Amino acid sequence: MLKKLSPNIKSSITRSISQSFEQYMNEIGWSAEHYNIEQFYANWREYITTKALWYDKIPEDVISDPQFHEDLAKRVEEVLIRILNDPPTEEQIAQIEILQEKLNTHYEYGCKAEAVYVQNLLEENVGQLK
């Protein structure tokens, strides 16, 4: 069912999954212990029904079709796997190492999105030192 949607809507769906996931992970500090897939889905569901422009463009018969939801679940899984497997850039690694030396910290990060979170956190802490 997802394949029948326009490329723009499919792209918007993917973007909303990425944005919602990264926002959720930032809220929980990228903590595996605090991660709850049901909470992520609840956050995403709220986002798509209140803020996403693409949701209203999908016909009701498509939204109510179980195959659509199965396809959507597969897309969510694909996007999350892609995010979690996208390695940090060399520039991110270098910047984080410099900041961690200044702050005498050792944050771990496994993907590019988590590196953004760690770098922002460290930059905020360095800013508080000044």
| Per-residue pLDDT, 20 | 95
Answer yes or no: do 124 and 94 share one domain: yes
Q: Contact, 121 vs 30, CB < 8 A?
A: no
Question: What's residue 130's pLDDT?
Answer: 60
Check whether residue 56 and residue 104 sit in a common domain.
Answer: no
- C-beta neighbour count of 19 within 10 angstroms: 14
Has this prediction a pTM greater than 0.85?
A: yes
Whether 42 and 61 share a structural domain: yes
Q: Provide the residue-wise pLDDT of the chain in tens; the chain has 130 residues.
A: 888 899 999 999 999 999 999 999 999 999 999 999 999 999 999 999 999 989 999 999 999 999 999 999 999 999 999 999 999 999 999 999 999 999 999 999 999 999 999 999 999 998 876 6
Collapse the DSSP code of 44 into the 3-class scheme (helix H, G, I; strand E, B; otherwise coil) and give the result.
helix
Residues 63 and 119 in one domain: no
CB 107 within 8 A of CB 122: yes
Q: Are residues 69 and 115 in the same domain?
A: no
**What is the spatial distance between Cα 83 and Cα 75, in angstroms, rounded to a whole number?**
12
What is the residue range of 57's domain?
Answer: 2-85
Dihedral of the alpha carbons of 65, 67, 69, 72, in degrees to the nearest 10: -130
Answer yes or no: do 7 and 62 share one domain: yes
Q: How far out from the chain centre does Cα 38 lie?
A: 15
What is the distance between the alpha carbons of residues 69 and 63, in angstroms, rounded to a whole number? 8
- pLDDT score, position 30: 97
Q: Are residues 16 and 36 in the same domain?
A: yes
